[in-house]
């Protein structure tokens, strides 16, 4: 049985930290996630385990710092062995997902076949089936026996309705989560969102939304996002692929988090509402461009 993603990242991080004076990534959640081409979820788990094992420490200001440790480090050959499949799998998932989202926006009606799709991406049918299954879990695809995989159609009205309900529930979630917000967590989220109007590179960490939804202690709000968020989150992420939009979103995320750190609850709520409403315009711009082409 192969290593889990968290085990893979953890072993490589331990090797990098104990071996090299200059790390090939920033020691932040966003920097580590970018280096391994994964989301922040497995990175968070690994970081907490390494803190517990005293391989790294979290400073009072929330920053991560490695500890000088001794022990048996993994061989470089072992690292190359298990890190390569992790990156390749992540890149394939991202490539297929982006293509499927384009088909969703085009309201593609032809069933997708595993064999033909595998040939298109120069991979195996089993691997494509696994990718399709993950995309089905995000609501982008539906498996129809003896027919293939059906692409979910995008309707503007569905998006409008979703965003209207999302705004109400997420603002309420943020209000309910106030007593459970941890300053160090907010700082880490802030570090994962970088970008300004003078740079061409931006980094986005969308986990801030899940952060307060998971801490709001309201099962009904959490169930709404669990059931309805994945499809639209994929659409919104795809609409933010351009650097200008990524920079705008990163700045909006930072504004929300900075207001939360300052305990300016009213301004944080206003910033969140603006950010949610801007998602609609980002997708509509994308749809308009696709129709023009």
Half-sphere exposure at residue 123, Cβ-oriented, CA atoms within 13 angstroms:
19
* Among 25, 81, 54, CA closest to 203: 25
Mean pLDDT of 78-84: 39
User: Exposure pattern of 107-136 as b/e (b: 16+ CB <10 Å)?
Assistant: ebeeebebeebbeeeebeeebbeebbeebe
Residue 99, pLDDT score: 92
Give the β-pairing of 64-66 and 148-151.
Answer: unpaired
Q: For residues 98 and 106, give the distance between their C-alpha atoms in angstroms, rounded to a whole number.
A: 13
Long-range contacts of 263-270 (CB under 8 A, 24+ apart): 265/175, 265/178, 268/174, 269/171, 269/174, 269/175
> Domains of the chain (ranges plus CATH)?
5-66 (1.10.10.10), 91-151 (1.10.10.10), 156-292 (1.20.120.530)
pLDDT tens readout for residues 215-273: 999 999 999 999 998 899 888 888 877 778 888 999 999 999 999 999 999 999 999 99
- 150 sits in which H/E element: strand 148-151
Q: Which residue has the tokens 């711009």?
A: 285
């Amino acid at each position: 049985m192969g290593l889990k993603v968290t085990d893979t990242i953890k072993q490589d991080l331990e090797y990098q930290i104990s071996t090299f004076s200059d790390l090939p990534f920033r020691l932040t959640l966003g920097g580590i996630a970018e280096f391994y081409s994964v989301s922040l979820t497995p990175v968070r788990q690994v970081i907490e385990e390494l803190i517990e094992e005293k391989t790294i420490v979290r400073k009072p200001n929330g920053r991560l710092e490695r500890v000088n440790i001794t022990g048996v480090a993994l061989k470089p050959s072992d690292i190359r062995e298990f890190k390569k499949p992790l990156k390749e799998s992540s890149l394939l998932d991202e490539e297929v997902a982006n293509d499927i989202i384009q088909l969703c926006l085009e309201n593609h009606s032809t069933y997708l076949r595993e064999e033909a799709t595998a040939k298109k991406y120069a991979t195996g049918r089993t691997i494509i089936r696994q990718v399709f299954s993950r995309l089905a879990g995000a609501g982008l695809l539906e498996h129809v026996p003896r027919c293939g995989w059906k692409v979910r159609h995008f309707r503007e009205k569905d998006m409008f309705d979703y965003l209207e309900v999302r705004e109400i529930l997420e603002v309420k979630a943020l209000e309910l989560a106030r007593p459970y917000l941890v300053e160090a967590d907010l700082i880490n989220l802030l570090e994962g969102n970088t970008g300004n109007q003078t740079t061409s590179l931006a980094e986005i960490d969308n986990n801030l939304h899940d952060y307060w939804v998971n801490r709001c202690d309201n099962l009904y709000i959490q169930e709404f996002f669990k059931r309805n968020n994945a499809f639209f989150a994929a659409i919104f992420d795809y609409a933010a692929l351009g650097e200008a939009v990524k920079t705008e979103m990163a700045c909006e995320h930072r504004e929300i988090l900075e207001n939360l750190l300052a305990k300016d609850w009213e301004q944080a709520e206003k910033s969140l509402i603006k950010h949610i409403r801007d998602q609609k315009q980002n997708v509509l711009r994308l749809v308009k461009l696709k129709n023009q082409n």
